[in-house]
Structure 1
Amino acid sequence: MRITVFGATGGIGGHVVQQALQAGHEVTAVVRASSSYDVKGVEVVRVPGLTEAEPLIDAVDGRDAVISGVGPRTAKSGPVASGSTRSILAALTKTGVRRFVAVSAAPIGPTPPDESFLNRRLLLPMIRSIAADVYADLRLMEADITSSDTDWTIVRPPKLTNKALSGKYRTSVGGTVPAGYTIARADVAHLMLAAVSDPKMIDQAVGVAY
């Protein structure tokens, strides 16, 4: 499979690239023109940024799927995801590439009905308040994705860690994993790659956590 990865220099995107290579996929990584990124076996496409669709067309044209690990690095990063994703979606429309998998965040999803009282009334509202600007941007991103003509999947992880890949985690298609507090970036990447070829995850947001 030919896969293009946006956010390849980030935590999740980096794992997507490595795992895709290990699985035998043909991988294209999109990075900024100033980046020294160089991974053996990966086609690297350097672009000035993700604010315009035109420079992204060559990176996605003819691919079977596009995976985006683009997102805020910290709660203070501000709007990052929506503008970049809008450009990616426009490039997909221009090239006719349909399969798109993107990362968002668990607080954007619905609160599970069986979530604990403490989480429902205290923890989740506090998290949503602390990073309000980031989550507002992710909501815009998700709205653009769900209204696009792509075969999309949105993956919503909770707090990210740098633990090693386990391949063992819980998922909730169309929902949020209850009492799901953390997930390794490597396992988020694992799910995103699995989602590419899973028809049950098309046009769905998928919660993931341990």
Structure 2
Amino acid sequence: MRLAIFGATGRSGRILIEHALQLGHQVTALARTPERIPPHERLHVVAGDVRDRAPVSRTIQGADAVVSALGRRRRGPAICTEGMRTILSAMAADGPRRLVALSNYGVAETRRRSPYVAVSWLLERPVLRDKERMEALIRASDTDWTLIRPPILTNGPRTDRYRTGAELRLTFTSKVSRADLAAFVLSELRAGEHLRQGVAITT
């Protein structure tokens, strides 16, 4: 599969690229700092900002699917919303229909599910608001999307012992490794079991 990956230099994005290459996929990744991504024969890195249409269009050209691992810092710009707006515009004109985006548990229909969500909004309001607006753009698009909503992410190993589900309720003890998250993203791209759904994941 030919994958276009955004958010490639983040912690989740780097592991996602690593796993995709291990599985034999061809990867094109967008990065403002390409030198931060180790070279690989099946990896092509496009230099640029996800908010700029030209490099985004080059990244998705010829791709079978798009994966967004964009993430916002507390005091940074609304990169998920702004970047996804550009990605969706490019996909509508030049790209594939399949889209998998990493979001956060506690947005949209999961917003009022538990005390865990209430505390998350108290501590991470700018981050969650950005993800919620990103989700709204994706839901309104004409793409075959899947939104993946993880809890706290760890740097632990891949275990393949994770649970997923649209109705899965996460709590203060919920967590998943970035390696397991990457495995689920790539599995969902192959199987397409959660088309037009938001799905939570936890170990």
In the TM superposition, what is the alpha-carbon distance from 1:110 to its structure 2 partner?
4.1
Q: Point out where structure 1 has 5 or more consecutive residues left out of the alignment.
A: none
How many residues align structurally? 202
Q: Does 1:94 align with 2:93?
A: yes
> Where does structure 1 differ by over 6 angstroms across 4 or more consecutive aligned residues?
none
Amino acid in structure 1 at the alignment position of 2:6: F
SS in 2 for 1:201: coil
Provide the residue aligned with 1:198 in structure 2: 191
Q: Does 1:208 align with 2:163?
A: no
Instruction: State how far apart, in whole Å, the 2-side matches of 1:143 and 1:111 are.
Output: 13
Q: Does 1:124 align with 2:123?
A: no
Q: Does 1:176 align with 2:175?
A: no
SS in 2 for 1:163: coil
Q: Point out where structure 2 has 5 or more consecutive residues left out of the alignment.
A: none
Amino acid in structure 2 at the alignment position of 1:206: V
Aligned residue runs from structure 1 range 30-179, under 5 A = 30-32=30-32, 35-72=35-72, 74-77=73-76, 79-108=78-107, 110-111=109-110, 120=114, 122-173=115-166, 175-179=167-171
Amino acid in structure 1 at the alignment position of 2:28: T
In the TM superposition, what is the alpha-carbon distance from 1:7 to its structure 2 partner?
1.2
Provide the residue aligned with 2:179 in structure 1: 186
TM-score calculated relative to the size of structure 1: 0.87
Stretch deviating more after TM superposition (40-49 or 24-33): 40-49
Provide the residue aligned with 1:24 in structure 2: 24
In the TM superposition, what is the alpha-carbon distance from 1:41 to its structure 2 partner?
2.2
Instruction: State how far apart, in whole Å, the 1-side matches of 2:88 and 2:18 are.
Output: 24
Preserved contact between residue 86 and residue 144 of structure 1 (Cα < 8 Å): yes
Instruction: State how far apart, in whole Å, the 1-side matches of 2:100 and 2:185 are.
Output: 7
In the TM superposition, what is the alpha-carbon distance from 1:39 to its structure 2 partner?
2.2
Preserved contact between residue 108 and residue 138 of structure 1 (Cα < 8 Å): yes
Preserved contact between residue 171 and residue 209 of structure 1 (Cα < 8 Å): yes
Amino acid in structure 1 at the alignment position of 2:142: D
Amino acid in structure 1 at the alignment position of 2:120: I
SS in 1 for 2:106: helix
In the TM superposition, what is the alpha-carbon distance from 1:100 to its structure 2 partner?
0.6
TM-score calculated relative to the size of structure 2: 0.90
CA RMSD in angstroms, aligned pairs only: 2.1
SS in 2 for 1:40: coil
Identity among equivalent positions (%) equals: 32
